[in-house]
Structure 1
Amino acid sequence: MIRKLLCTLACGLVPWAPAAVAATANDYPTLDRVEYVLGCARDAHGPAQENIYKCTCMIDSIAQRLPYDQYVEYSTSANALSIGGERGETMRSYTAGKEMASKFRAMQAEARKACLMGA
């Protein structure tokens, strides 16, 4: 109950949100949500249980703003920029990929702030 209330407040969910937004926010496969939360909680500092709640809030916030297909493209682009060597250079020279990664990082920063996640 507390988690739901915190996420409702922090993620900006409102009871009168359009059904289309709710449907889009729920089209993420459970596995992708779990992987995001586990990775986020692993990288965060602080109490593990608290980080799980905050990271869950973050992926929920991102899911409200970004359809799943775009999430896959944006997050893949963001992750691919960190690949070293020639393989990474291919991604770093792909302008559209850099733009997607930048948008994804901005969404993550907004979600981090909305969900009271530390820097």
Structure 2
Amino acid sequence: MVDQVCLDVPASTYDAECDFWSKVLGLAWRQTETPQEEFRWIPRIGALRVLLQRLEEPDGPARAHLDLGCDDRQAEVRRHVALGAEIAEEYGEWTQLRDPAGSAYCITDHPPG
């Protein structure tokens, strides 16, 4: 299930991008509960949340990727790999994959619903 859309934003435009999307969506951004300062989120709009991730790169275009929530991340990762995805990196609460065309997306421990 799609849990959130993650906007990947270069460091130089991160604060402005967070403020812009907060105003567009009419909801204040919040620091995530994790100790990682590079993440802010805008509360759920219906079933979807917007996560803003500050990239280490100083400049460049903002991009986006989907985060999928599931009940069993390891099983879901195996299913995606069997369908043609490749694991890019493992993190504490999520796994970054690349689809067959090379686009990044994540599978998270956020339960669906």
Does the alignment reach a TM-score above 0.5?
no
Structure label with greater radius of gyration: 1
TM-score scaled by length of structure 2: 0.28
